[in-house]
Amino acid sequence: MVKICGIGAGYVGGPTMAVIALKCPSIEVAVVDISHSRISAWNSNKLPIYEPGLEEVVNQCRGKNLLFSTDVEKHVYEADIIFVSVNTPTKVRGLGAGKAADLTYWESAARMIADVSKSNKIVIEKSTVPVRTAEAIEKILTHNTNSKDIKYQILSNPEFLSEGTAIQDLLNPDRVLIGGNQDPEGIEAIRKLKAIYAHWVPEDRIIATNLWSAELSKLADNAFLAQRISSINAMSALCEATGAEVSQVSLALGKNTKIGPKFLNASVGFGGSCFQKDILNLVYICESNGLTEVANYWKEVIKVNDYQKSRFVHRVVTSMFNTVSGKKIAILGFAFKKDTSDTRKTPAIDVCKGLLGDNAFLSIYDPRVTETQIQKDLSMDGVEWDHPIHLQPKSSSVVKQVNVVGDAYEATRDAHGLCILTEWDEFKTVDYERVYDNMEKPAFVFDGRNMLNVDKLREIGFIVYSIGRPLDQWLKNMKIVN
Ligand code: UDX
Ligand code: UDX
Ligand code: ADP
């Protein structure tokens, strides 16, 4: 029986390993993590991450060919193939701070693998890493190994799943990318990994490349997707200034088969653990290679994203008579997108901090994010558009200005305005007449996800701002725009 060990039981490692176990009943999959609380959650009825369909997959395989453990060394020792899905955050201090990837977790995983291994291993990079990381990992493994007879093959097999649709993405991937050395041992390692995916992925979707192409493709993939969002968000600002409608522009663009329809939704800004981190990483690699123009090109994608968030805050404040001080504002949605409890780099953090900076009182509701997480997110780092990252002391007054509540009606009661920051489906079915009746007047809606029916809201009496659409007539007549 082939044995697989997955190091890192997070958003990537957990679902990926669970789907491999589901599709390969003849393979024993052990998922290990240094975090005891994460592993005990994976072994409980309340999984540590929310992901549609994940619970069903875990319930089918756990106790059969899927196990979760903190005994990292034992399972690494026993495995033939090791997937490494540890976190690679942006470095916060030292060389490359604010841009380069922090490979501390990766390096310590590699040193541990070298320490405990007594047989040949295929080591797979799952988490996104800078180009040529495989080379560094290979050095760590071969220079720390117990015996010259142990051979390591490093493969790059980046994960392309999106949170919220992870299980579907894993079951039916557009493509599986496997990068490896182009010598006979490397090609054999690629073949072994291909054989695992071939249990459920059609062969023509499994692409083999050299190591560096696979590593770079992952960074490029996220940079291109983020660039599309920043491009449409930049257009949304122009739409608001000219009377064009961004949704109509998106539709027209998407019908061009050269462009395609996906990732063209204007929004309050992109978030998530990958886009900003990977672009900063790309920028750092470009700068390190003397490619200043290329670095500057990609930096603009982040700058436009920061601009979109600050523009949203500016719009809220200017619309509400240039001050939100002492006003209650309801925030509907805090996660970085719907169907996830993840708040990493969510635009909601920067928008809320911007409003708190103007002394607003926030009443926040998100169907999946806990109060502890929201308070933690809002009392840490400085706002994102203040690059480079700097730390602010925790402020107890910020905590007092923030109230986390259990539903949309409670959040909006007596509020002057409401902001939609995540496109949760349930916000479409809220009774906005009831919401309107219980809000202060004039009642403002700021739809950061363009998900609500603007005309209906205006009929009810709301003053509405949505991204990239003509502004409410009332605001225009009052000449308080800009
Ligand atoms: C373009 C648009 O495609 C068309 O929709 C619009 O109506 C007019 O402008 P055109 O300029 O005729 O058409 O040619 P196009 O095929 O778009 O190529 C433009 C330039 O981009 C060429 O120099 C082409 O060589 C280059 N190109 C195109 C690339 O360098 N790489 C590509 O992948 C595609
Ligand atoms: C992304 C990539 O899609 C995935 O391929 C990669 O493996 C990891 O990073 P993820 O961050 O989970 O996945 O979510 P994604 O759906 O890409 O959304 C990222 C952010 O962009 C979210 O904040 C989302 O709301 C925003 N977004 C997305 C838009 O603002 N407009 C869009 O049209 C699409
Ligand atoms: P991602 O979104 O990339 O999956 P997460 O932060 O959700 O990132 O998950 C990464 C996981 O890797 C964390 O649960 C962390 O505890 C784990 N981890 C980090 N370093 C190691 C290590 N050396 N050995 C085992 N697990 C590790």
351-380: buried (b, 16+ CB within 10 Å) or exposed (e) per residue? Answer: bbbbbbebebbbbbbbbbbeeebbbebbbe
The share of the chain scoring above pLDDT 90, in percent, equals 87
Q: 175 φ, ψ to 5°?
A: -160, 155
Distances (CA, A) of 217 to 178, 213, 450, 476: 11, 6, 31, 46
Helices (H), 44-183: 54-61, 72-78, 104-116, 133-144, 166-171
Residue 422 marked ligand-binding = no
pTM of the model: 0.93
Q: Is 7 helix (H, G, I), strand (E, B) or coil?
A: strand
Helices (H), 179-332: 184-197, 211-242, 246-255, 275-288, 292-319
Q: Is 68 helix (H, G, I), strand (E, B) or coil?
A: strand
Annotated active-site residue 274? The verdict is yes
Residue 182 reports pLDDT greater than 60: yes
Tell me which H or E stretch contains 352: helix 347-357
CA dist 414 and 462 (Å) reads 14
The rounded Å distance from CA 287 to ligand 3 centre is 28
Beta bridge partners of 350: none
C-alpha closest to that of 437 among 405, 461, 470 = 461
Q: Whose CA is nearest to atom 7 of ligand 2?
A: 160
Q: pLDDT tens, 323-381?
A: 999 999 999 999 999 999 999 999 999 999 999 999 999 999 999 999 999 999 998 76
Answer whether 276 contacts ligand 2 (Cβ < 6 A).
no
CA dihedral 159, 164, 167, 168 (to 10 degrees): -100
The rounded Å distance from CA 35 to ligand 3 centre is 8
pLDDT value, residue 145: 84
Q: pLDDT tens, 421-464?
A: 999 999 999 999 999 999 999 999 999 999 999 999 999 999 99
The rounded Å distance from CA 222 to ligand 2 centre is 8
- Strand 176-180 and strand 206-210: pairing? parallel
* Ordered domains of the chain (ranges, CATH): 3-201 (3.40.50.720), 214-482 (3.40.50.720)
Residue 275 marked ligand-binding = yes
Answer whether 340 contacts ligand 3 (Cβ < 6 A).
no
Q: 400 CB contacts (<8 Å, ≥6 apart)?
A: none
Q: 67 φ, ψ to 5°?
A: -135, 155
